[in-house]
Amino acid sequence: MPRRDSADPIGAKLGRRIRVLREEQGLTQEKLAYEAGLKSKGHLSGIEKGLVLPTIQTLALLAERLGTELVDLVTFPEESERHRLIDLSRSMKVGTIRRLVRDAS
């Protein structure tokens, strides 16, 4: 994906989210980029700064390596209660999520 001269607002939010998830796992940019099969650490750095808009395929690679769902990369918990709930669900056990879904249905 081409580099931009300045951060795209949505790209910057997406990049911050990826950085938070990466740091939660104690991964460096270099390690995540390598293990996710990205072009380079610089490519990931550009994504995290919002200067490079990743493709869906790149997001899927990052989500897989981070052990999360694609939706977790585009969830911004600071923006709404719904996004916060989605973020909190990452640490819930499957049984708890099933019970919540059943109760909400």
* pLDDT of amino acid 39: 85
Share of the chain above pLDDT 90, in %: 88
DSSP 61-90: HHHHHHTS-HHHHT--TTT-HHHHHHHHHT
* pLDDT of amino acid 60: 97
* pLDDT of amino acid 42: 95
**Average model confidence (pLDDT) for the chain?**
92
pLDDT of 1 higher than 80:
no
pLDDT of 7 higher than 90:
no
pLDDT of 8 higher than 80:
yes
pLDDT of 18 higher than 60:
yes
Handedness of CA 8, 23, 71, 52 (dihedral sign): positive
Residue range 81-104: mean pLDDT, rounded: 92
